[in-house]
Amino acid sequence: MSLLRRAAAAEAATWRNLALWVSRRPVDVHGGRAFGYLEVVKPILGIFLVLSVVEIPILDLIVKHVIPWGPARLIMLALSVWGLLWMLGFLGGLIRHPHLVVAEGLRIRMGPGLDVTVPWADIASITKRYRSMPSSRSVQVEDGALHIVVGSQTSIDVRLRRPLVLDVPRATGEAVDEVRLYADDSDGLVRAARDHLEAYAE
């Protein structure tokens, strides 16, 4: 998919998630269990949203007194409101796309743009382990491990039975033998995943 098409798809997904979130549509867990990953970044997101709300009347006041052109005020107001709604849609997308433990495998997600399922047959073990990452980039590949990062950290290590090339945007396309991700309830996700691994092994 081209960069332009990806951008258009991401924009459409943001507004769709905003509509679904506002309408309080239940999250589809596909018959499995959902595990969110936002607690560590909620304070930061909350600050950005509050600043965006405060910015709208302040910017409107500045434009009103600095630029003596009526349409400029409307344009800036529209852009400010659009930015606020976009941020709400972005947050809604993260909330509505949690990690899932389903019958097919461990479904790792990050908003609507990242969604990859690792089958139980390809998972050797899953353990809880907190790691601090030097970069805040959401997708990182290092030393044969794929990191799905939230708030510059991961909390779960998924060791694979064999190297796999996972279809993850912004990854390098190289095979990895471990996936590391973050979940708010790391203990719960590990327990749920191990139940599936034990059932698969029987």
* Residues 25-59: tens digit of each pLDDT: 888 899 999 999 999 888 888 888 888 888 888 88
Least confident stretch, 4-8, 88-92, 117-121, 166-170: 4-8
Highest mean pLDDT among 18-22, 83-87, 187-191: 187-191
Per-residue pLDDT, 7: 66
Distance CA 123, CA 146 (A): 14
Distance CA 105, CA 178 (A): 15
Question: What is the per-residue burial (b if ≥16 Cβ within 10 Å, else e) of 115-137?
Answer: bbbbebebbeebeeeeeebeeee
pLDDT digits 0-9 by tens, 78-95: 888 888 888 888 888 899
